[in-house]
Amino acid sequence: MMPIAAPLIPAHWPRIWGLIEPAVLAGGEHTERSVLTGLLHGGFVLWSDCADIAQARACVMTAWCDYPAGRIGFVQFAGGIDADAWLPDAIADFCAWAKSMGCKELRVIGRKGWARKIHRTPTSYVYVESLVGE
């Protein structure tokens, strides 16, 4: 995986959004606009499985957050096809990126099925109580 420079994102946004939209919508925290703003103005980093975004099979969005106990890197959204082809090397790339950013760990946020793909055991579960419509 390789990071994509922010100036390249607007011209390829429909393609990028098409790849990550299901993950973004499943998460529920972000909108298309908030993701695009974060990618263009800082806070989020976009990665692709190839330099030519028009040919990308996958896009992944990472971020970091500074906490009192240290910086944590996150793989927040991932989408695309042929994950078995790009995912094994991607995790190593994201770990190297997070380490270079001064992160003490990398957390991958995703659906349950990712555990099999990335060969990791979940360390916690998130329980959600919807407060909409109450």
Q: What is the CATH number of the domain that holds 6?
A: 3.40.630.30
Residue 37, pLDDT > 70, answer yes
Could you tell me if residue 128 is inside a domain?
no
Distance CA 73, CA 34 (A): 19
Could you tell me if residue 131 is inside a domain?
no
The parent domain of residue 95 ranges over: 2-118
Burial of 35 (0-12, 13-18, 19+ CB in 10 A): buried
Could you tell me if residue 126 is inside a domain?
no
Could you tell me if residue 101 is inside a domain?
yes
For residue 71, the model assigns a pLDDT of 95
For residue 134, the model assigns a pLDDT of 66
Tell me the pTM. Answer: 0.85
Split at pLDDT 50, 70, 90, the class of 85 is confident
pLDDT digits (tens, 9 = 90+) for 41-81: 988 999 999 889 999 999 999 999 999 999 999 999 999 99
Could you tell me if residue 70 is inside a domain?
yes
Distance CA 27, CA 60 (A): 14
Tell me which of 132 and 90 has the higher pLDDT: 90
* Burial letters 92-108, b for 16+ CB under 10 A, else e: ebbeebbeeeebeebeb
pLDDT digits (tens, 9 = 90+) for 96-114: 999 999 999 999 887 777 7
Could you tell me if residue 123 is inside a domain?
no
Residue 83, pLDDT > 90, answer no
Could you tell me if residue 124 is inside a domain?
no
Could you tell me if residue 14 is inside a domain?
yes
**What radius of gyration do the chain's Cα atoms show?**
15
Domain count, the chain: 1
